[in-house]
Amino acid sequence: MDLPLSPPVQPMLAKSADAVPPQPAGDDPVWSYEPKWDGFRALVFRDRDEVVLSSRSGKDLARYFPEMVDAIRGELPDRCVLDGELVVPREVDGRTRLDWEALSERIHPAASRVALLAEQTPAQLIGFDLLALGDTDLTGRPFEDRRAALLDVIGGGPSCHVTRATTDPTVATEWFHTFEGAGLDGVIAKRLSGAYVPNKREMVKVKHARTADVVVIGYRPHKSQPGIGSMLLGLYDGDDLRFIGGASAFTAARRVELQEILDPLRLGDDVVHDGETSRWAAGKDRQWVPIRPELVVEVAYDQLEGDRLRHVARFLRWRPDREPRSCTYEQLDVPVRYDLADVLAGGK
């Protein structure tokens, strides 16, 4: 590819916040707000007929979305690099919303299955940043300029779109509540003057609940029924994969299904007896089965305490688009650690 930026390029990231950041009083706006799309992040590289759909981990997703390769050739400039989200929409009760399950099914090893799904559940591309156009690298320019250029080059096609944006925090807050019904999961805030900085958390994300993408490191067998009782979860801290807690409350059928998925990844036939591993069952000798850290899941959680989850997490979905080593503590919404005296009446 003969482009100012060559794949792979790591996307710019976001850090969590509890609310939409306000604009400064009496000054020009600082923030641009846009809906947070719930799909597969993809950096699109097009050099005429050559197209790469680079995932966050650097894998080329083009083989899984052949219809998007054709759409990009027909709807985007001949030579460009843009940041966006691959999504699969579907109609529910007369309204169109995002379908995560249909999107996840697109990551399939069989070419025949991919071709069938490309016809049955075609994807769309939602663009939200333009990194290069022709021979020009735009990453050092303000986001305000990059977005204006993006609007100039995308539009009118059936498969490639540009996300909405506003500088009004009241509108962004309204979006946070109303767009959830369309399958979106929050709001992203970007500095209008900001450059595009790969792999840096320069954006702000406000989500409807605390969630994290975590690595499955093992499971506990159910005490009295077939299948697993809980799934053990970990996050990377540098090169170390640390246990952070577990996810449970599965149906009987789901427990058996999960064991069938996890058993091929077992690290030998050993079962570990460890009362310290489980914070919610400290002091008890409970068995758990370690597995190879190859699978990533998204879980919902309520609070982090130290470097572990305070309560059991809730399994949301598999994340086949995420690499285990990309699952780090940086993504967590970490509460400020106060001294107890500061929290009591009369504290600072």
- Distance, in Å, from the CA atom of 329 to the CA atom of 230, rounded to the nearest integer, reads 21
Ranges of H-type helices in the chain = 66-75, 100-104, 111-120, 143-153, 169-178, 252-262, 340-343
251 Cβ contact partners less than 8 Å away, ≥ 6 residues apart: none
Give pLDDT tens digits for 150-160.
999 997 679 99
Specify whether the CB–CB gap between 332 and 310 falls below 8 A. no
On the 0-12 / 13-18 / 19+ scale of CB atoms within 10 A, 21 is middle
For residue 282, name the pLDDT band (cuts at 50, 70, 90).
very low
Give pLDDT tens digits for 241-275.
999 999 998 999 999 999 999 999 998 766 665 54
User: Percentages helix, strand, coil for the chain, rounded to the nearest 5?
Assistant: 25, 35, 40
Q: Which residue has the higher pLDDT, 271 or 6?
A: 6
Beta strands 40-47 and 287-290, pairing class: unpaired
Q: Which residue has the higher pLDDT, 303 or 200?
A: 200
- Distance, in Å, from the CA atom of 148 to the CA atom of 265, rounded to the nearest integer, reads 48
Q: What is the dihedral of CA 188, 43, 142, 201, to 10 degrees?
A: 50
- Distance, in Å, from the CA atom of 242 to the CA atom of 74, rounded to the nearest integer, reads 46
Give me the catalytic one of 36, 190, 205, 207.
36
Name residue 315's beta-bridge partners: 299
Examine the residue annotation and report whether 15 is marked as an active-site residue of this protein: no
Give pLDDT tens digits for 75-96.
999 999 999 999 998 876 677 7
Domains, the chain, in order of start with CATH, read: 13-207 (3.30.470.30), 211-331 (2.40.50.140)
